[in-house]
C-alpha cells in the first residue's frame, strides 16, 4: 500500500459521510413520528373523538413529506457501496448484502404496501384496518432500520463469518451471529430510540409554535402530552442502551473508547470526564496528547462504565499504539507485522494452489489463519501506526455535546408534560420558545451520535479487518470530487424543499374536517 491515493480515500469518505448525514436528517423523524401517529390514531379508534383523527392526519402529512425525501437519499447511499467502495463490496458482499437484501424484500415492502392505505384509505377501509395499516407502516419503518443497523453493527464488530482464501472473500457461516451480535442489537435499539426522542422533540416544538401563535390549542396540548410521554419513556431507553454501547465499545473498539474519553495513558479506577475543554493545538497531529484547560471528573466512573467494575483497568491510546505487556495488550506495530504476514501468506497460498503445491499451500494457509485477526493492520506495515488513531477532539466533544443535549431533552419532556397537565403551558412562553428552538438541537444530537460512531472507528471500514485505504474503488479522485459537489447541491436542494413544504403545512395547520 505504498502508493495510496489519500486524496481518493478522503474524498470517498467525505462523499459517503455527506450522503449518510443528509440521509440521517430524514430517517429518525420517520422512525419516531410513525409510532406517535399510530398512538394518536389508536386514541381516535378507542375514543371515537374526531379531533384525534384530525390531529393524526395533520402529523401524517408531515410524516409523508419526510418519508418521501428520506427514501431518495437512502437509495443513493446504498449505491455508493458499489461505486466508491467496490473493494469493500467484493471483500464482504456475501455478508453485508444479506441484511440489506432482507431490508428491501421484507421491511420496505411491508411499509410500502400499507403506506397507501394509511394515506388514502381513511374513507375506503374500516377504522380498525386503517389503524392496522398505520401500525404496520410504523413497524415496517423500524424493521427497515433494523437490517441496515445490523449491517453497520457487523462492520463495527464482524461476527458469524469465515474467510474463504480461494475466493478472497468473507462468507457468512452463521446468520444468527450476525443478526444477534451484541453490537448490532445494541446499535439498533440505541439508534431507533434516539429517533423516537427526536420525533418527540419535533412534535412538541411544532405544538409549542401553535400555542405561541394562539392557534390550535387542542391539537397542540394533546400532541404535547403524547409526545412528552413517548419522549420520556424513550429517553430512559436511550440512556440504558447508551450504557450498553459504551461497554461494547470498550470491549470491541477500545481505541474508539479511549479517543472518546481523551484517555492517553491507561488507568485503573479511571475517572469519567463529565465536562472538559481540551487544550488542543490544531497544528499538532491527532495522536498527540490533548491536555485539559478545564475538566470535571467523576471518580472511578469510566472504569465502571466500561467494565462494570470501578477498579478495572481501562487502556488508553498509548497502551493500544505502543502496547502494554502487563495487561497483555499488543502494540499496533506488532499487529501490523502479523497482519503483513497474513497478507503475504494469502498471496503465497494462492500461488501454491496455482502451482499445484499442496504442501506449501497448506503451510501458507495455516500461517494466514493464525494471523488473520490482525489482517487489516498489515496495510499499515511500514507506515506510521498513529494513522490508526481517530480524531480525539472530534469524538470527545461530539460525545459530550450529544449527552448534554440528551439531558436537556429529558428535562424538556418532563417540564412540558407537567405544565400541560396543570393547564399552565400557554402562559410559559419561555418554555414554549425553548421547545421550539430545541428542534434543531435534536437533529444536531442525532448527527453527533453518528460522528462518534463513525469518526471514532476510523480508519476502519470493517473493524481490524479492512481499512479505508484498502476498501475504496480504483477511481480518479477528481471523479469523486465532482459527484461530491453534485450530491451536495442535490441533497441541499432536497433539504430546503422539505423545510419549505413542512413550514407551509405547519403554517396552514390541520384540515377542518
Q: What CA dihedral angle connects 390, 396, 401 and 404, to 10 degrees? A: 140
pLDDT bin (cut points 50, 70, 90) of residue 218 is very high
| Amino acid 233: pLDDT | 96
| Amino acid 247: pLDDT | 94
Residue 450 neighbours by CB distance under 10 Å: 18
Q: 54 versus 3: which is more confidently predicted?
A: 54
- Using DSSP's 3-state secondary structure scheme, residue 310 falls into coil
Distance of alpha carbon 37 from alpha carbon 58, whole angstroms: 9
For residue 274, is it left (φ>0), alpha (ψ between -120 and 50) or beta? Answer: alpha
168 and 135 in contact (C-beta within 8 Å)?
no
96 and 80 in contact (C-beta within 8 Å)?
no
Residues 25-83 have pLDDT tens digits of 999 999 999 999 999 999 999 999 999 999 999 999 999 888 878 777 777 877 888 88
Distance of alpha carbon 226 from alpha carbon 423, whole angstroms: 15
| Amino acid 112: pLDDT | 74
Per-residue pLDDT, averaged over 150-163, amounts to: 89
Task: Encode burial over 199-227: b for 16+ CB neighbours within 10 A, e otherwise.
Answer: bbbbbbbbbbbbbeeeebeebbbbbbbbb
CA 6 to chain centre: 25
Residues 422-456 have pLDDT tens digits of 999 999 999 999 999 999 999 999 999 999 999 99
24 and 446 in contact (C-beta within 8 Å)?
yes
Q: What is the overall mean pLDDT for the chain?
A: 90
Distance of alpha carbon 367 from alpha carbon 379, whole angstroms: 17
| Amino acid 282: pLDDT | 57
Cell representation of residue 251: 470491549
Backbone angles phi, psi at 474, to 5 degrees: -85, 80
Per-residue pLDDT, averaged over 144-165, amounts to: 88
Decide if pLDDT at 289 tops 80: no
Name the strand (E) or helix (H) holding 440: helix 429-455
| Amino acid 311: pLDDT | 94
Prediction pTM value = 0.92
| Amino acid 107: pLDDT | 66
- Given the C-alpha cell 463495527, which residue does it identify? 156
Cell representation of residue 504: 407551509
Residues 366-396 have pLDDT tens digits of 999 999 999 999 999 888 888 899 999 999 9
Residues 255-288 have pLDDT tens digits of 999 999 999 999 999 999 999 888 866 555 555 6
Residues 391-421 have pLDDT tens digits of 999 999 999 999 999 999 999 999 999 999 9
Q: Which of 97, 63, 78, 65 shows the shortest CA–CA distance to 19?
A: 78
Residues 161-200 have pLDDT tens digits of 888 888 888 888 898 998 889 999 999 999 999 999 999 9
Element counts in the chain: helices (H) and strands (E): 17, 8
Distance of alpha carbon 12 from alpha carbon 15, whole angstroms: 5
Amino acid at each position: 500500500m505504498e502508493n495510496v491515493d489519500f486524496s481518493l480515500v478522503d474524498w470517498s469518505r467525505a462523499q459517503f459521510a455527506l450522503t449518510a448525514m443528509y440521509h440521517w436528517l430524514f430517517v429518525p423523524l420517520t422512525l419516531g413520528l410513525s409510532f406517535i401517529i399510530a398512538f394518536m390514531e389508536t386514541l381516535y379508534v378507542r375514543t371515537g373523538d374526531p379531533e384525534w383523527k384530525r390531529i393524526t392526519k395533520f402529523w401524517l402529512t408531515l410524516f409523508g413529506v419526510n418519508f418521501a425525501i428520506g427514501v431518495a437519499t437512502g437509495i443513493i447511499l446504498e449505491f455508493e457501496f458499489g461505486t466508491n467502495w467496490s473493494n469493500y463490496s467484493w471483500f464482504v458482499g456475501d455478508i453485508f448484502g444479506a441484511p440489506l437484501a432482507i431490508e428491501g424484500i421484507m421491511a420496505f415492502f411491508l411499509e410500502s404496501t400499507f403506506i397507501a392505505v394509511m394515506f388514502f384509505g381513511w374513507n375506503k377501509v374500516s377504522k380498525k384496518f386503517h389503524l392496522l395499516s398505520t401500525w404496520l407502516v410504523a413497524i415496517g419503518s423500524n424493521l427497515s432500520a433494523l437490517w441496515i443497523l445490523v449491517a453497520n453493527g457487523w462492520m463495527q464488530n464482524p461476527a458469524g463469518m469465515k474467510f474463504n482464501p480461494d475466493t478472497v472473500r468473507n462468507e457468512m457461516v452463521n446468520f444468527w451471529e450476525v443478526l444477534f451480535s451484541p453490537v448490532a442489537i445494541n446499535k439498533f435499539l440505541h439508534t431507533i430510540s434516539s429517533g423516537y426522542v427526536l420525533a418527540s422533540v419535533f412534535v412538541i416544538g411544532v405544538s409549542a409554535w401553535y400555542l405561541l401563535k394562539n392557534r390550535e390549542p387542542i391539537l397542540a396540548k394533546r400532541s404535547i402530552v403524547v409526545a412528552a410521554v413517548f419522549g420520556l419513556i424513550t429517553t430512559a431507553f436511550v440512556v440504558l442502551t447508551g450504557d450498553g454501547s459504551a461497554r461494547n465499545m470498550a470491549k470491541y473498539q477500545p481505541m474508539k473508547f479511549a479517543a472518546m474519553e481523551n484517555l492517553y495513558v491507561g488507568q485503573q479506577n479511571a475517572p469519567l470526564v463529565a465536562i472538559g475543554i481540551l487544550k488542543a493545538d490544531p497544528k499538532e497531529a491527532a495522536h498527540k496528547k490533548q491536555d485539559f484547560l478545564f475538566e470535571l471528573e467523576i471518580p472511578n466512573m469510566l472504569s465502571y462504565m466500561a467494565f462494570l467494575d470501578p477498579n478495572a483497568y481501562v487502556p488508553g491510546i498509548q497502551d493500544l499504539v505502543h502496547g502494554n505487556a502487563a495487561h497483555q495488550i499488543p502494540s499496533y506495530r506488532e499487529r501490523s507485522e502479523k497482519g503483513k504476514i497474513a497478507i503475504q501468506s494469502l498471496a503465497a497460498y494462492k500461488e501454491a494452489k496455482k502451482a499445484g503445491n499442496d504442501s506449501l499451500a497448506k503451510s501458507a494457509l495455516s500461517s494466514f489463519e493464525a494471523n488473520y485477526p490482525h489482517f487489516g493492520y498489515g496495510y499499515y506495515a511500514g507506515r506510521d501506526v498513529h494513522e490508526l488513531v481517530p480524531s480525539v477532539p472530534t469524538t470527545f466533544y461530539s460525545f459530550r455535546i450529544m449527552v448534554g443535549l440528551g439531558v436537556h431533552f429529558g428535562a424538556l419532556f418532563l417540564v412540558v408534560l407537567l405544565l400541560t397537565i396543570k393547564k399552565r403551558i400557554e402562559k410559559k412562553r419561555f418554555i414554549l420558545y425553548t421547545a421550539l428552538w430545541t428542534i434543531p438541537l435534536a437533529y444536531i444530537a442525532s448527527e453527533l451520535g453518528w460522528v462518534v460512531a463513525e469518526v471514532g472507528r476510523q480508519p476502519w471500514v470493517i473493524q481490524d479487518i479492512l481499512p479505508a485505504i484498502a476498501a475504496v474503488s480504483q477511481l480518479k479522485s477528481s471523479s469523486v470530487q465532482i459527484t461530491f459537489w453534485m450530491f451536495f447541491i442535490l441533497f441541499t436542494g432536497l433539504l430546503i424543499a422539505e423545510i419549505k413544504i413542512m413550514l407551509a403545512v405547519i403554517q396552514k395547520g390541520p384540515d377542518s374536517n
